[in-house]
Amino acid sequence: MHRRSVRNLTISVLAATALTAAGCSSSSSPQSNAASTSDPVTITVAVSNATNQTYLSLVLAQQLGYFKKQGVTVKVVSTVNGNQNWQDMLAHQVDGVIGFYDHNIDLRAKGVSTESVIQLNQAPGMVELVRTDEAASITSPAQESGKKLGITGLGSSTQFVADYLAVHNGVPVNQLHPVNIGAGSTFVAAMQNDEVDVGVSTEPTVSTLLAKKAAKIIVDMRSVSGTEAALGGPYPGTALSFETSYVQSNKPAVQKMVNALVEALNYIQTHSAAQIAAVVPAANYGSAGKTAYEQSLANEIGMFSPTGLMPADGPQSVDRVLSSFDPNVEGHNVDLSQTYTDSLVQAAASASN
């Protein structure tokens, strides 16, 4: 079965489950954890490769006690890749997802109601790299036909972006050979062992590969300007998302989590990379170490949203990118206003003034 058909079948089954369960709750379900407005409340969220820098605001909110101050306990569940996060949420194994906003559009096109409630990153923070010994022959995505393309997982946002880069540069998706290599140490090993020719990943994986001279950058989306140059417009990355029914049923609890994350975003805007790295657990530095972590953070500090609000034209740009290669989105009239809300971020900002 074609790789997209497998992913579509999985999501379709989960979508049916989610829609069936939307009108009811179970005392044993994670979705019931935050139903009460009394303190404390608990929200369970899924992330993949929790050490990558795109999740920095979540890490800071935990480390600096912002969640505790709000009276919310956030339990983080690690998954193998970004697509698994959404599957777990739709199966009600977790309440929400810290992952890329683009999945909300993909799911809405399938009839599943999810939405982001705070935009943590205003750029993807992704980099497409080529193995050093292939760098002379692969200088852009235009040379990727027939090549082994490393992604964090099938159906992940790294695959979404990699597919667009290929199609935008004249390489049909069916000429790519995606390889699921995860992130962090597994991604680095795959590059070093010639298991892939090119790949898309985030920091600190990128800096680790560069330090080892195992790869070179061909597309850099760690900044807003770099993203617009590569993708033709904004591409808001990591966000906190839930099923719409969950937000409606647990709004006070979700507001508490948003309040804490807004405070974490403010911390990023008002502190240096060195100050931020001092707060981050040492395990997040990766094999490259603290100095490399600080440098990579300094290189992409503009990736983080200064407000938590959805960037102007962000949803339209993401929809355009997905429509260029994703048959689930192409030709579908998705109501983009239903894929995110700024109301909780605005409420958090008003409360802090």
Instruction: With cut-offs at 50, 70 and 90, classify the pLDDT of residue 133.
Output: very high
* Average pLDDT, integer, range 323-339: 93
User: Which tens digits make up the pLDDT trace of 159-195?
Assistant: 999 999 999 999 999 999 999 998 888 999 999 999 9
CA dihedral (62, 95, 329, 172) in degrees, to 10, reads 60
Q: Of 185, 214, 231, which residue is a domain's last? A: 231
Same domain, 74 and 85: yes
Same domain, 227 and 191: yes
Q: What pTM value is reported for the model?
A: 0.86
Going by C-alpha positions, the residue among 122, 77, 291 that lies closest to residue 204 is 291
The sign of the torsion formed by the CA atoms of 173, 174, 180, 185 equals: negative
Same domain, 157 and 197: yes
Helices 224-231 and 157-168 cross at an angle (nearest 10°) of: 50
Count how many domains the chain has.
Answer: 2
Question: Residue 115: which domain range?
Answer: 3-123+236-352
Q: Is the peptide bond before 204 cis (omega within 30 degrees of 0)?
A: yes
User: Which tens digits make up the pLDDT trace of 24-82?
Assistant: 333 333 443 443 345 569 999 999 877 889 999 999 999 999 999 999 999 999 887 77
Same domain, 13 and 114: yes
**Residue 347 phi, psi (nearest 5):** -65, -40
Render 78-130 in DSSP notation, one character per residue.
Answer: EESSHHHHHHHHHTTSSSEEEEETHHHHHHHHTT--EEEEEE-BSS--EEEEE
User: Which tens digits make up the pLDDT trace of 101-118?
Assistant: 999 999 999 999 999 999
Same domain, 167 and 103: no
Supply the CATH number for residue 332's domain.
Answer: 3.40.190.10
Q: Euclidean distance between the first and final Cα of the chain, in Å?
A: 54
254 token code pair: 């979700």
